[in-house]
Chains A and B, each alone.
Chain A
């Protein structure tokens, strides 16, 4: 079947196309070159002057895994305000802060998203993450596998195992957990909390292992690079949320010594200690460091005002912040000598000085980082805000006067502490397409996604141009997933099931010798039962696996 999209204005930064009117042809799920004149077009969509982009990709959103499910069950009162009835083609569910899986897939698709990545897959909980994501319709998905507080790695580092051995373990784990990247959360800190350390600075040692977060970052960033995993080490830094943590973040950038590193939800790691309230913006320093260090990429983790829930693997910091839980209930867990998690309902308030400044800091970071290929649009869903706030965020980035109008309503002391009002930059449509499509596909290592060239998968979103960017990005006219029309006028038209993106770096099979012993001695399951088979992702008849290449690896 040949489908034609006629007359759209195409923004396809992956192929250097910036607002050019051109037709798009789709066959067998992929975009093809203009076919010969005799080829019969089976279905034509006349989209003259409408804005056409690839399907959007969220590279950091908590959509699957145990902590998210705890967050869901922790907040029945939040779901009651946002019940979603079933239709003839869609399943019932609930929003709002941590929506159910079906609702997550529909709402992402209805905003023009076609892929989302769960950034905190505990290896021991990976099975659950994949099962939940298997119930997220339409979207492609994938997960970053969390290491850095797992006892196996820390034992290796204490024993001064060489980099090759660590690489083998990292590669083995990413395959066993069916991941597409490697994440580290408060390096070593989740483990340290189990030994009753309540904070851990970049150069502070885990009291049991005599290993510092800096060493862990370096070791894992090296492994990711040497294994040829395209997505840089995905780093949730130390000292999240602490005034003055800007120093930690800058030191972390310096600490990886030029290795590729992705700093996630940087907004939460960009705080200074100036001003009357000893809380200030470090956005300018972060942006300067990122602009200078081309090995660094980041996503922002913008906050928005209102009720949400913070869901994090960083139980050390979540525990420390439990006094801020609104409503006042919270969950922390130590998990399987592997990691941990913490869940705190949270209400960001615009008349709260700290929250208001957090909002401004996130936007400052967006606007002060020069290279759109190295910065990504996230709210760290649901931590900064639910993902459904993206259209509003896009308007804040694209519309200076709207932004300043919003700023003027915030806590007055916070307004004094931000340079936001003086920043003139407005994002262009091309830049938005880079942040949410081309750049996101590139940095997650996806082949033939986030682009509209010959041979690319036909994940396509069509919007009606509107000066109100929030309206425009809330309700696309059409969304195609693998060439199929899944959303029409912002509503689900057809429910399809996406693929799971993975990478499979090589490792020396002898790595299993020690792992098998470790599992039998110390863990609670056999190594053979720990590894997730391909069948588990595909046997329901809906799921599939897409393996992306590793590059330039030494292995």
Chain B
């Protein structure tokens, strides 16, 4: 039995790297600094290790051969999921390039709202260490932050020491939209977060009203959604007074039509505050289970985020057309490759076309896919790299045990070589 310290997690997206994990053969136990997201993800036991074809156990070579056959005969394969480490994503891109596939990260439906806003007007953002040391005012829009990342407050806001704040418990936390479900946002000196609740559907209007007020314009109405304008005015004033205000949102949680416009308004509020003479930054939440990794690698290898295709031998990007689910629904794709090395419950969608699943060991299916190859998890079964949600920091994932499971990269490279 060994104990491994300073273990980084690829699961929570916020790059916690202080886990202490006990390793006993193939079994892992999070001894310290676990959370509701990370602990089960690390402790999940290895179940299936053998590849299958239509549910029947086969050798890795046979499974790889069958996958290559299916891809060779395909006119338009789509690769979904795209949840793996940097090397896994590199191999995925190589296979897609060779095979003319669509590459579509499973988080893109949410991330799209950010990309559309960013590619239209840009943004001013910050990263975790800046929040930890500078942020004196945090506005959380439309997300229950402690469910998203259970240790966010503990690690980045109620940290004991900060370089530029005399007392971190004096930070002001305000929720707009969804309120907090627990007490993580209550400061160590027992100050509760201010909550201005409204429904998701009202957020576009509420955020637009907030921008109006930040710009110094007035509104004749007294209420927007369920929120009084005077309360919004108070937020606008505080944002403009803060030394280092931060506005955070999770694009995935803004599940209403044209949420990209709300994201864009949030980003423009940040710019407006900076224009008005004070510093303010945005902080998009996202990037769990390799979402950010997929976009980064796809970005540097093709210039586009991870909803694109190689069907014409060159990269093409379209956040709407290359939605793999829609393509499958419309009969525009004839093979699905599903890559998900982090989460065994993130199974592929039910499809009528042949499915090749490169998934974390333990994945269970209602209908057995044509090919299933269980792979190791980056950061548990092999070393690797994964991106944190703030897009700047890539963490070095450790190998914790000797499970013998192949990596995503090994499997996808093997398929590409047989093609």
Contact = CB atoms under 8 A, between A and B. Distances in A.
A94 B15 contact: no
Given A196-B278, A337-B129, A66 B391 contact: yes
B146 interface: no
Given A93-B302, A194-B134, A333 B392 contact: yes
Contact residue range for chain B? 35 or more
Contacts of A91: 94, 97, 301
Interface string A502-526: 0000000000000000000111111
Interface string A26-63: 00000000000000000000000000000000000000
Interface of chain B: mostly helix, strand, loop or mixed: mixed
Contact of A194 (B8, B94, B155, B279): B279
B155 A128 contact: no
A336 B119 contact: no
A85 B161 CA distance: 52
Contact of B86 (A94, A131, A330): A131
Candidate in B98, B122, B314 with the most chain A CB atoms within 10 angstroms: B122
A331 B315 contact: no
Interface stretch (A71-79, A282-290, A398-406, A458-466): A71-79
A319 B303 CA distance: 24
A330 B122 contact: yes
Given A93-B303, A335-B127, A525-B15, A329 B121 contact: yes
A524 B129 contact: yes
A368 interface: no
A124 interface: yes
Nearest to B243: A196
Given A69-B299, A525-B395, A94 B314 contact: yes
Contact of B130 (A85, A135, A196, A334): A334
A70 B392 CA distance: 10
Contacts of A76: 119, 303-304, 317
Contacts of A193: 279
B315 A83 contact: yes
B392 A335 contact: yes
B304 A73 contact: yes
A383 B153 CA distance: 39
A5 interface: no
Given A73-B305, A86-B97, A525-B15, A533 B396 contact: yes
B396 A529 contact: yes
A373 interface: no
B234 interface: no
A349 B229 CA distance: 46
Candidate in B18, B86, B98, B163 with the most chain A CB atoms within 10 angstroms: B163
Nearest to A79: B303
Contacts of B277: 196
B321 to A, nearest CB: 13
Contacts of B6: 526, 528-529
Nearest to A104: B300
A472 B60 CA distance: 52
Given A151-B133, A328-B121, A334-B126, 5 more contacts: A72-B299, A79-B302, A93-B301, A135-B90, A335-B126
25 contacts: A64-B300, A69-B296, A72-B303, A74-B118, A79-B303, A85-B312, A92-B97, A99-B303, A100-B302, A101-B301, A102-B301, A125-B394, A128-B296, A329-B119, A330-B122, A331-B123, A333-B127, A336-B127, A336-B128, A336-B392, A522-B163, A524-B127, A525-B8, A526-B18, A529-B8
Question: What 10 pairs between A and B have smallest CB-CB spacing?
Answer: A94-B303, A83-B314, A85-B313, A329-B122, A79-B303, A336-B129, A330-B122, A85-B314, A127-B394, A524-B128
